A and B are shown apart, each in its own frame.
Chain A
Amino acid sequence: QKEVEQDPGPLSVPEGAIVSLNCTYSNSAFQYFMWYRQYSRKGPELLMYTYSSGNKEDGRFTAQVDKSSKYISLFIRDSQPSDSATYLCAMRNAGNMLTFGGGTRLMVKP
């Protein structure tokens, strides 16, 4: 079993929909939780990161962490075609090595 599990999708939604992307993990030592976005033929880029449990909002994006359930989520409000990409969750403990989920491919249709 992988340390970080993520549904690969693809997830197809109409423009304007609320999108929910999720990851589960098994390592209780993870403290930092990140979401990266990867467009086709590009490298991943950081969207948001949070420390420990709770919510963090940045524009249309909200990241949630529930450490008790080992479950993290990324919500995208008013989704746009430009949000179409692969979203990778990542997490780490106190060290420097990120563990990535496999990514969820999102398609937002106009």
Chain B
Amino acid sequence: DAGVIQSPRHEVTEMGQEVTLRCKPISGHDYLFWYRQTMMRGLELLIYFNNNVPIDDSGMPEDRFSAKMPNASFSTLKIQPSEPRDSAVYFCASTSQKGGGSGANVLTFGAGSRLTVL
């Protein structure tokens, strides 16, 4: 398995532009998480999905952020309009809860998308 695949790896954009980050989870995983990592705030959970359904989006900073999971193999995180304070590394992670509850501990992370908003 190729693991969790994220694109783009790096994105530089100007304030006000729309940014779309993409994620392909590991095949068969039924949970998908979006995290944001900054030096100041560490790793923060933004939203997570179970079987393509958003379960908890309480970490989404504001209405400028939206996430979708149209099918089991693809998810997007969109920021519109982007602001300099959105600059961070965005990680997607997936796991499976099938066969037991400990799957929630074993997140497989992608390599991240490094976003810079000028």
Contacts and interface: CB of A to CB of B under 8 A. Distances in A.
Chains A and B bind each other: yes
A46 B108 CA distance: 8
**Chain B interface residue bracket vs A:** 20 to 34
A45 B105 CA distance: 11
Interface of A: 32, 34, 36, 41-46, 49, 51, 88, 90, 92, 94-98, 100-103
B42 A97 contact: no
Nearest to B105: A49
30 contacts: A32-B102, A32-B104, A41-B111, A41-B112, A43-B91, A43-B110, A44-B43, A44-B91, A44-B107, A44-B109, A45-B108, A45-B109, A46-B107, A49-B105, A49-B106, A88-B43, A90-B105, A92-B104, A92-B105, A95-B104, A96-B31, A96-B48, A96-B55, A96-B97, A97-B45, A97-B48, A97-B56, A98-B105, A101-B42, A103-B42
A23 to B, nearest CB: 12
A43 B42 contact: no
